[in-house]
């Protein structure tokens, strides 16, 4: 779902402008619609990547302000002179005292790491689960997900759809109050069908951590996910929508609580990742493998940026890597660029190019390849790989019909369609 942003008025502060986005009901869309590349790149190669940028970064964070809940982080190492090294994302930021991480959400204060994202969301709203994008989940009776986000991100994707929040610190985009602890978020989700008029009684049975990257608000996101799993009266599904730029240990700690992952695959070359996203591809590929090896559900969006990551050999290498490393049943979503932020002058991705990408994915042996941002296209739908029946029909991210039974099978030929097809979702 995409909506028009209000125009920033002259003299309006950045904080007030972003608050206006929420009050007008603006949904910001998935934070970084895509992620990857070749080679054996891993965590070690990414270490220290942002050190030079961190050393010169000015910090102006008063942890005593009422809109900041300085919550201790656990994943870090203590170094000399009260310096620490963050151990959450693949950037492994080295932080001298009073410096913040590249993500803008973590700060070193006297040799201890704190997160400023705790209980400080800027997005808390129900939207379609498919918006993830997450297409292999039953949506009986139009079930929605509660989308949660704070400011901050570990990447600097130049085409980011949500740069108004992802490229700001949590305290600079707060618009919902600062008392949204994990229990309150879960309680709000459970009662949303009664308290939010637009839902008209439609249940919200999923919580999606998206719009900015949940790795940036790692402590808050994992605490909400753990709280959601304590609910007995109704099953809540946790969905992590991320760039996948996270250390293995931090990712593995989420596996008991997260049911479905959406990790973006941004491009095939190292050059694209570095120049366009200020990141490395290896950690993302490693994250995808960890999720699949753990038996968790994974879907992968790839944003096709004309003249940047759209070469046929790049796309074919990406789909081959997905097929060989993640399996033929891993859904792949090719998305059209919506020109934004620093790439607002780049043309929208041609439909014919996206259709070519989808065909290359199918030719590589992938069974479920989709097209995003092209409502009404057959590439929106899920097709049975055996009999060819349309088992889930969509217009964009709106689910129109589900022809999958309670056991996750095609209603025509009884072929198993992989996904989370729990009728109680």
* 3-state secondary structure (DSSP) of residue 312: helix
- Among 373, 391, 410, the domain-final residue is 373
Instruction: Report pLDDT for 424.
Output: 56
Residue 5 placed within a domain: no
CB 164 within 8 A of CB 5: yes
Residue 9 placed within a domain: no
- Among 63, 86, 115, the domain-final residue is 115
Residues 23 and 50 reside in one and the same domain: no
Question: Which range of residues forms the domain containing residue 110?
Answer: 43-115
Residues 74 and 30 reside in one and the same domain: no
Give 350's contacts (C-beta < 8 A, 6+ positions apart): 306
| Interaxial angle between packed helices 312-326 and 282-293, expressed in degrees from 0 to 180 and rounded to the nearest 10 | 30
How far, in Å, CA of 289 to CA of 285, rounded? 6
Residues 29 and 68 reside in one and the same domain: no
Residues 184 and 266 reside in one and the same domain: yes
| Interaxial angle between packed helices 182-195 and 218-229, expressed in degrees from 0 to 180 and rounded to the nearest 10 | 60
| Average pLDDT for runs of 10 along the chain of length 425 | 33 43 34 33 39 42 68 93 95 93 93 92 93 83 86 96 93 80 96 91 92 97 97 92 98 98 97 96 97 98 96 97 98 95 95 98 98 94 96 90 90 96 62
Residues 54 and 202 reside in one and the same domain: no
Residues 80 and 221 reside in one and the same domain: no
- Among 88, 115, 142, the domain-final residue is 115
Residue 405 placed within a domain: no
Residues 303 and 165 reside in one and the same domain: yes
CB 385 within 8 A of CB 374: no
Residue 7 placed within a domain: no
Residue 217 placed within a domain: yes
Residues 315 and 220 reside in one and the same domain: yes
* 3-state secondary structure (DSSP) of residue 283: helix
Q: What is the pLDDT of residues 170-222, one digit of tens each?
A: 988 867 876 899 999 999 999 999 999 989 888 899 999 999 999 999 999 99
Instruction: Report pLDDT for 32.
Output: 37
State the DSSP string of 337-397.
----GGGTTSPPPPHHHHHHHHHHHHHTT-S-EEEES-TT-GGGSEE-TTT--EEEEEETT
Instruction: Report pLDDT for 177.
Output: 72
Residues 98 and 202 reside in one and the same domain: no
Q: Considering the entire predicted model, what is its pTM?
A: 0.86
Residue 340 placed within a domain: yes
User: Which CATH number covers residue 242?
Assistant: 3.20.20.70
Instruction: Report pLDDT for 357.
Output: 98
Residues 348 and 273 reside in one and the same domain: yes
Residues 297 and 273 reside in one and the same domain: yes
Please count the structural domains in the chain: 2
* 3-state secondary structure (DSSP) of residue 333: strand
Residues 234 and 361 reside in one and the same domain: yes
Residue 303 placed within a domain: yes
Instruction: Report pLDDT for 5.
Output: 29
CA separation, residue 44 to residues 197, 248, 283, 395 (Å): 49, 11, 9, 43
Long-range contacts at 44-49 (CB < 8 A, ≥ 24 apart): 45/280, 45/282, 46/90, 46/91, 46/92, 46/279, 46/280, 46/282, 46/283, 47/92, 48/92, 48/94, 49/91, 49/92, 49/279, 49/280
How far, in Å, CA of 425 to CA of 204, rounded? 9
Instruction: Report pLDDT for 298.
Output: 98
Residue 411 placed within a domain: no
Q: In what order do the strands lie in the sheet with 112-115?
A: 71-72, 112-115, 106-109
Give 148's contacts (C-beta < 8 A, 6+ positions apart): 121, 123, 124, 185, 207, 208, 209, 210, 221, 224
């Amino acid at each position: 779902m995409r909506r028009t942003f209000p125009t920033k008025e002259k003299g309006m502060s950045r904080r007030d402008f972003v608050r206006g986005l929420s009050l007008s009901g603006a949904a910001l869309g998935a934070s970084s619609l895509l992620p990857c590349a070749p080679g054996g790149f891993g965590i070690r190669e990414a270490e220290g990547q942002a050190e030079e940028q961190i050393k010169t970064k000015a910090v102006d964070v008063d942890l005593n302000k009422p809109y900041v809940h300085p919550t201790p982080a656990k994943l870090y190492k203590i170094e000399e002179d009260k310096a620490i090294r963050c151990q959450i994302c693949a950037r492994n930021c080295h932080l001298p005292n009073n410096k913040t991480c590249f993500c803008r959400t973590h700060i070193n204060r006297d040799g201890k790491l704190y997160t400023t994202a705790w209980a400080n969301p800027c997005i808390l709203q129900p939207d379609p689960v498919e918006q993830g994008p997450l297409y292999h989940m039953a949506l009986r009776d139009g079930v929605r997900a509660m989308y949660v986000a704070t400011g901050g991100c570990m990447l600097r994707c130049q085409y980011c759809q949500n740069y108004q929040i992802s490229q700001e610190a949590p305290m600079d985009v707060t618009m919902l109050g600062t008392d949204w602890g994990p229990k309150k978020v879960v309680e709000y989700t459970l009662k949303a069908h009664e308290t939010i008029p637009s839902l008209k009684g439609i249940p919200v049975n999923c919580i999606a951590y998206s719009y900015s990257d949940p790795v940036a608000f790692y402590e808050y996101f994992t605490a909400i996910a753990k709280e959601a799993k304590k609910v007995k009266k109704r099953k809540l599904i946790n969905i992590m929508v991320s760039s996948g730029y996270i250390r293995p240990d931090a990712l593995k700690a989420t596996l008991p609580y997260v049911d479905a992952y959406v990790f973006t695959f941004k491009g095939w070359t190292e050059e694209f990742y570095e120049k366009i996203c200020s990141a490395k591809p290896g950690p993302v590929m490693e994250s995808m493998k960890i999720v699949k090896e753990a038996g968790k559900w994974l879907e992968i969006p790839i944003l096709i940026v004309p003249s940047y990551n759209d070469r046929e050999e790049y796309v074919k290498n990406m789909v081959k890597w997905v097929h060989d490393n993640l399996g033929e049943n891993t859904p792949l979503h090719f998305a059209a660029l919506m020109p934004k932020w620093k790439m607002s002058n780049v043309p929208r991705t041609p439909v014919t190019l996206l259709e070519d990408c989808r065909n290359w994915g199918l030719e590589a042996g992938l069974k479920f390849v989709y097209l995003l941002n092209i409502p009404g296209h057959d590439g929106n739908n899920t097709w049975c790989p055996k009999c060819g029946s349309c088992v889930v029909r969509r217009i964009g991210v709106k689910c129109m019909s589900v022809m999958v039974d309670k056991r996750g099978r095609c209603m025509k030929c009884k072929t198993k369609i992989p996904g989370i097809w729990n009728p109680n979702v």
